[in-house]
A and B are shown apart, each in its own frame.
Chain A
Amino acid sequence: GESVGLHLPTLSVQEGDNSIINCAYSNSASDYFIWYKQESGKGPQFIIDIRSNMDKRQGQRVTVLLNKTVKHLSLQIAATQPGDSAVYFCAEILPWGGGKLIFGQGTELSVKP
């Protein structure tokens, strides 16, 4: 059945601009963080990860920043393309959690051509 829940935050950007998606995580003991991209009707797709001993990691067109002091993650996408339109989730893993992911709320990114 249909659930009443939170609406996803949305971010709308122009094609070619840079996008910044933010995420607040919940547990200061988390030591591994992952960003996932989820397109409509599909499962999450791994984008980039970062461990707690780092504060920045770069991939192809993406950069993840980690600020452990304020428990904040961000995902920067350079030169955003229409194919980047999706929902983006951050996820944290606790060191004693057996690999369980704790997902954030998610942000819907919409890229205008």
Chain B
Amino acid sequence: GAVVSQHPSWVICKSGTSVKIECRSLDFQATTMFWYRQFPKQSLMLMATSNEGSKATYEQGVEKDKFLINHASLTLSTLTVTSAHPEDSSFYICSATSGGGNQPQHFGDGTRLSIL
């Protein structure tokens, strides 16, 4: 149980394009989803918290106009990297939880984004 699916797993695109990443909870309702960014050999850095039906809350230093987050249903959240540039290349990971702070987060397998 508690499976989170992330798609695509790997994407390469040209500088200036926008890329959408999907995060789905397959067997539970995710009231809250989180988006992280991870550079090689580093820890996960939280980008934003997304509650179903509400606007996402972004961490300090994360541009909300660049990283658009939508959480329209209890099973799907999307992260769109707009006008992506090479410095946006990273490993993006989502997680989902059904119980707020009292339940562990379940993670997707990440999306490797490479911007040429």
Contacts and interface: CB of A to CB of B under 8 A. Distances in A.
Contact of A44 (B93, B102, B112): B93
B43 A43 contact: no
Interface stretch (A53-61, A73-81, A103-111): A103-111
Indicate the member of B41, B43, B102, B112 with the most A CB atoms within 10 Å: B43
Given A5-B39, A103-B45, 16 more contacts: A1-B86, A1-B89, A8-B41, A8-B42, A41-B109, A97-B101, A98-B49, A98-B57, A99-B34, A99-B49, A100-B34, A100-B101, A101-B46, A103-B43, A104-B43, A106-B42
A100 B107 CA distance: 13
Contacts of B86: 1
Chain B interface, >50% SS class = mixed
B102 to A, nearest CB: 7
A36 B38 CA distance: 15
A25 interface: no
A66 interface: no
Interface residues of B, number: 33
Contacts of A93: 101
B106 interface: yes
Interface of B: 4, 6, 32, 34, 39-46, 49, 57, 86-87, 89, 93, 95, 97, 99-110, 112
Interface in A28-43: 32, 34, 36, 41-43
B43 A106 contact: yes
B6 A43 contact: yes
16 contacts: A1-B87, A34-B104, A41-B109, A42-B109, A43-B4, A43-B107, A43-B109, A98-B57, A99-B34, A99-B49, A99-B99, A99-B100, A101-B95, A102-B46, A103-B45, A106-B42
